Amino acid sequence: MLLISVIIPVHNGERTISATLDSVLQQTFPDFELIIINDDSTDKTLEIISQYTDSRLSILSDSHQSAAVSRNQGLKHSIGEYIAFLDADDLWTPDKLESQLKTLKDHPEAAVAYSWTDYIDEAGNKLYPGSYLTLNGQVYPQLLVRNFLESGSNPLIKRQALIDIGGFDESLQGGQDWDLYLRLAAKYSFVAVPQVQIYYRVSTDSISSNLSRQEQQVLQVMEQNFAQASSDLQSLKVYSLTHLYKYLACRALALPPSSQNGLKALQFTGKYAWYESHKFSQFPLILVLVLKSLVRFLFPCLEKPLFSLGKKIRSKFI
């Protein structure tokens, strides 16, 4: 059996797909297949992909579906013993697959290997670091609090584990990555590679930039999984909500300055303060978020020179 299958769903990804494919084809571990799910692209995505002649690469066509459907389709057609998913605008370091595979082989009890993440802008420049959490073994409680894998482009997963849990939940319109990881963590061990090996691209017109929709999607995944969690884990829900709204508030402040984005940040900060009030340990951060959000809401034009402060806030506190 081929060792690794890499699955990339793409819809209108002409701006980033070449860099993403290059980051896969330049991997130091060569024994993989690369399956691209062209999800009804109407731009030059297919033309760009077709210029690649690497024999490991194959293209499947799909009508415009959710990311979960496309990933499941790729899983169905794959033959690798291990599976890695990659979004069409994210990047890997050249040693990503090699390091994660070695870590899984060194820890045969684990079914998922994950690495650290850094965030980049649309031009590929570094914005801020990820959480850099290193958690091994049974990580289900920690994963209930936050998705410390941070994206769908991170882990290398044993194929049989994915099959056992039924792949991605196609009924979800968002938060499918976190839901998948939670169902994996409920049955299997995780192991970390403490190195930055994933670059997550932040785009102002991406799905994740629609923060109100993202809020609802993540809340749905949260409610669904806490409904199934044991009673001794229910106390973690307030921490999960706290982290969600801290993330959304800081994410809103990393968007381009506008009154609308300032209002979003203020609303998310209010919810963050409400859920964080059980310990009062983050008052300085909450105060900074409130002041920053108010300035953006009331004076977005004057606030533009301070735009980078939103990124610095997120880098320091997320």
> Any idea which residue has 């731009």 for tokens?
43
> Tokens representing 76?
């169905």
pLDDT in the model for residue 278: 64
* Predicted TM-score (pTM) of this structure: 0.90
pLDDT of residue 301: 74
Per-residue pLDDT at 316? 43
The amino acid at 259: S
Cβ–Cβ under 8 Å, residues 163 and 106: no
Residue type, 222: M
Q: Which residue has the tokens 């402040």?
A: 253
Phi, psi (deg, nearest 5) at residue 179: -60, -45
Distance CA 139, CA 181 (A): 10
Per-residue HEC secondary structure of the chain comes to CCCEEEEEEECCCCCCHHHHHHHHHCCCCCCEEEEEEEECCCCCHHHHHHCCCCCCEEEEEECCCCHHHHHHHHHHHCCCCEEEECCCCCEECCCHHHHHHHHHHHCCCEEEEEEEEEEECCCCCEEEECCCCCCCECCHHHHHHCCCCCCCCCCEEEHHHHHHHCCCCCCCCCCHHHHHHHHHHCCCEEEEEEEEEEEEECCCCCHHHCHHHHHHHHHHHHHHHHHHCCHHHHHHHHHHHHHHHHHHHHHHHCCCCCHHHHHHHHHHHHHHHHHHCCCCCCHHHHHHHHHHHHHHHHCHHHHHHHHHHHHHHHHHHC
pLDDT given for residue 203 in this prediction: 78
How does pLDDT run across 184-231, given as a tens digit for each residue? 999 999 999 999 999 999 876 655 568 888 899 999 999 999 999 999
Return d(Cα 294, Cα 249) in angstroms, integer: 12
What's the pLDDT score for residue 205? 61
Q: What residue ranges of the chain have pLDDT lower than 50?
A: 307, 312-318
Predicted pLDDT of residue 318: 46
| Residues across the chain | 318
Which amino acid appears at position 219 of this protein? L
CB atoms within 10 A of CB 294: 16
Nearest to 6 by CA among 87, 64, 103, 66: 87
Closest by CA position to 247, among listed 218, 222, 226, 225: 218
134 contacts 93 by C-beta, under 8 angstroms: no
Using CA atoms, how far apart are residues 272 and 186, in angstroms rounded to an integer? 27
